[in-house]
Chain A
Amino acid sequence: GAVVSQHPSRVICKSGTSVKIECRSLDFQATTMFWYRQFPKQSLMLMATSNEGSKATYEQGVEKDKFLINHASLTLSTLTVTSAHPEDSSFYICSARDPTTGGNYGYTFGSGTRLTVV
């Protein structure tokens, strides 16, 4: 089945620094990837839709200058949290859809990244 790899799984960074999270589709080409943020004991909140070769589409309330998304190839999307602050600490999960399995039937999640900003 479709596999989405996310790296790193955990990262601790100092306040003010930037952190890059990678999301890779391992066995399929994903023209669209999605980035979610999840607070403890809360649901998945869609942050942005990453489109290969074009600008990402951000959800209302998500700062695009703070959460930079780059989808440079059909298998890789990156989320960079710039000038991170403690309130950015969260669980970030990417997902992708394998178009060969038929639309959203092939929706798969990455393993998530636990970001802690100290």
Chain B
Amino acid sequence: GENVEQHPSTLSVQEGDSAVIKCTYSDSASNYFPWYKQELGKRPQLIIDIRSNVGEKKDQRIAVTLNKTAKHFSLHITETQPEDSAVYFCAASIVWGNQFYFGTGTSLTVIP
């Protein structure tokens, strides 16, 4: 089955700096890679996603890159703000598959 690894597990950045979170996956059949933001005690919220036919996707301060050959994808947050502080999860799945495989999460702290 699919195995998703995520690094780092914790990340602290100064407000205004950039944050990068990296994930690798093992199953070459995976073709859909969402990123979720989860605040304490709340549901994960989709913040951005990418399909395997695209190498990069950007939405304002958030971007995701995908390298299919190397089987890794990354989340980039620029101009970080304190409200970006949360746990971020990557996931890998097949678009019409049954389940998501989640990374272990990254706790991001943005220091004002």
Chain A positions within 8 Å of B, measured between CB atoms, are 32, 34, 41-44, 46, 49, 91, 93, 102-105, 107, 109-112, 114
Contacts and interface: CB of A to CB of B under 8 A. Distances in A.
Nearest to B97: A104
B42 A104 contact: no
B89 A109 contact: no
Contacts of B99: 34, 46, 49
Given A49-B98, A49-B99, A44 B93 contact: no
Contacts, number: 54
Given A34-B99, A41-B107, A43-B104, A109 B44 contact: yes
Interface of B: 32, 34, 36, 41-46, 49, 87, 89, 93-100, 102-105, 107
Contacts of A42: 104-105
Contacts of A109: 36, 43-45
Contacts of A41: 87, 105, 107
A81 B44 CA distance: 22
Contacts of B103: 43
Contacts of A32: 98
A46 B93 CA distance: 13
A112 B41 contact: yes
Contact of B43 (A49, A102, A111): A111
B94 A104 contact: yes
A112 B41 CA distance: 8
A111 B43 CA distance: 5
A56 to B, nearest CB: 12
A102 B98 contact: no
